[in-house]
Amino acid sequence: MKTIDRRNFFKDLGYMTGGAALLASMPWLKSCTPAAREEVAGRKARVALIGSGSRGQYHIHNLKTIEHAELVAICDDYPVNLEAAHALFPGARTYSDYHELLDQKDIDGVIIATPLGSHARITLDSLAAGKHVFCEKSMALTLDECKSVYDAYSASDRALYYCMQRMYDDKYIKGVQMIKDGLIGEVTGMRCHWFRNADWRRPVPSPELERKINWRLYREHSAGLMTELATHQLEVCNWVAGKMPVEVAGLGDIVYWKDGREVYDSVSLTYRYSDGRKITYESLISNKFNGMEDQILGKDGTVDLTRGVYYLEEDNLVPGMKRLFGEIDTKIFAAVPTAGPSWRPELKSAYTPHPIMEGHVAVNSGESMVSSDADGSDKILAAFCTSCITGEKAENVVEEAYCSTALCLLGNQAMDERRVVTFPEEYKIPYMKF
C-alpha cells in the first residue's frame, strides 16, 4: 500500500487520496483539516492551565507553537510548580485556587493537568462554569466519577477533550486505516506492553508533601500503571476492534519497589472480546528491555503501531524444496515431508519491516514520564483550541476516553479481587459495542 509522507499528513488531511473515508471513520480529525485551520485563522482561543507540574509545563511549550492559542492564566496550589510554569509564560496571570480562575470571564477553555484523583471534580466544575475543557488522561479515578462526567458532558454544549494523543498521531491514524483496509487480513489478537526501569518517585522537599508530589504511588490519587500507561494502549485496541471487551482477568503485584507505595509495579492482564479475540497487556517498572509496543496481530501480518511499521507473513515464504533441503542439511527435521509445493514455517523467523509512512517517524521508547516528541499531544491540544473558538465538540474523543478508562479500572478490580470481571451493565454507554 502506498505510504504517505508524515510531514504533509495533517497539512493535506481531507484532500489526500482516501481522505474523505478516513475522516468518516475518524471524525475527531475534522478539526485538523485545512478547512478547520482556515476557519480559526487570525482568532485566538483564550485558555488557562490548571496544574503546572511537568505535564502542565509540557502543554505550555506546545501552546507556544499553536497560532490560534493564547495562554491567559495558570493555576496551581503548589507554589514551586506555579513559579516554574509562570517563568515559561510570564504574561499569564497566576492563581492558587482554580475556582477563582473559573470565575474569570476572559477564559474560553481550561487545560487540566492535575493528579488523576482530581480530574472528575475539576472537569465537572469547569463545565458548570461554562468553560470548554481539555483534561489529561485518564477520565477519573472511579467508574462512578466517569459516568458523572460523561452525563454532564452529554447535557452540556461545551467541548470536552481528553489527551488520548494516539488518536491524533499520524502513524497510528494511517496504521489503523491500513488495518481496517485489510492489510494484515482478519485481526486475530492484540498484544501491548509498556516496560520502564524507574521507581516513579520525584524528590520531596519535606515529608508532608510526599503524597502531593508522589501522588502516582497512592490509591487516593492514582490507579497506577493502568490509568497512567495502559489507558492509551487499550484505547488503540478498541479503536481497531471497533468494540469493547466483555471481560478481563489479571494479576497485579508489588514485586520490586517495596517502598510504601500502594499501586502495583507489575501487572499482567487478558481482556476478552465476545468473538474470542484477546488483548494481552503487561507492564512493569523494574526492567526496560522490551520498551513499549502496540501490536495488532492478523492472519496475514502484524502492525507495530508504536514504531510505525508492519510485517507480512508471506514475506517469509520461500520455495519449498530450497528451504526443505536447507532444513535437512542442518538436521532440524528427522523426517522429510513430501507433500505441498512450498514450505510454510510455523515458527518465528526474520521478518521484513515495512514503513507505514514515508520520512522520519518519531518513536516513543516509553521511558519518559512526561511525553514524547511528535506523539500527537500537540495536535490534540491544537484541536481543543479550535473547539474553544468554534464551539464544536470533537466526535468520539470523550467516548473513547470513557471506554479506555473503564477498562483500566475494571482491570484493577480484576487484579485486586483475583477473579474474572465482566463489564457492568450500569456503566455501559450508547457508544459501546460488545
| CA dist 14 → 26, 68, 308 (Å) | 11, 20, 21
> What pLDDT score was predicted for residue 310?
97
Q: What is the mean pLDDT of each run of 10 residues along the chain (434 residues)?
A: 61 70 92 93 98 97 97 98 97 98 98 98 98 98 98 98 96 95 97 96 96 97 98 97 98 98 98 98 97 97 96 71 50 45 55 87 66 82 98 97 98 98 98 97
Rounded CA-CA distance 275/187 in Å is: 11
How far apart CA 56 and CA 414 sit, in angstroms, is 32
User: Are 391 and 312 in contact, with CB atoms under 8 Å apart?
Assistant: no
Considering the chain, tell me which residue range(s) the CATH 3.40.50.720 domain(s) occupy.
Answer: 4-167+376-397
The number of beta carbons lying within 10 Å of the beta carbon of residue 420 is: 12
Task: Give the model's pLDDT for residue 61.
Answer: 97
The CA distance from 213 to 78, in Å, is: 9
The CATH architecture one would assign to domain 184-372+399-427 is 2-Layer Sandwich (3.30)
What is the rounded CA–CA span in Å between residue 360 and residue 8?
12
> What is the pLDDT, as a whole number, of residue 13?
76
Spatial distance between the Cα atoms of 302 and 190, rounded to a whole number of angstroms: 9
d(CA 132, CA 108): 6
Strand order in the sheet with 278-284: 354-355, 309-312, 301-304, 292-298, 187-195, 278-284, 266-272, 247-253, 421-422
CB atoms within 10 A of CB 335: 6
What residues contact residue 210 under an 8 Å CB cut-off, 6+ apart?
204
For the CA atoms of 73, 102, 56, 66, what is the dihedral angle to 10 degrees? -60
Model pLDDT, residue 8: 72
CB-CB contact of 420 with 414 (8 Å): yes
Q: Which three cell numbers stand for residue 291?
A: 520498551
> The cell 466526535 sits on which residue?
395
**CATH number assigned to the domain covering 4-167+376-397:** 3.40.50.720
417 Cβ neighbours under 8 A, 6+ residues apart: none
Cα 225 from Cα 284, distance rounded (Å): 8
pLDDT of amino acid 315: 81
- Segments of the chain assigned to CATH 3.30.360.10: 184-372+399-427
What pLDDT is attached to residue 342? 45
Burial of 283 (0-12, 13-18, 19+ CB in 10 A): buried
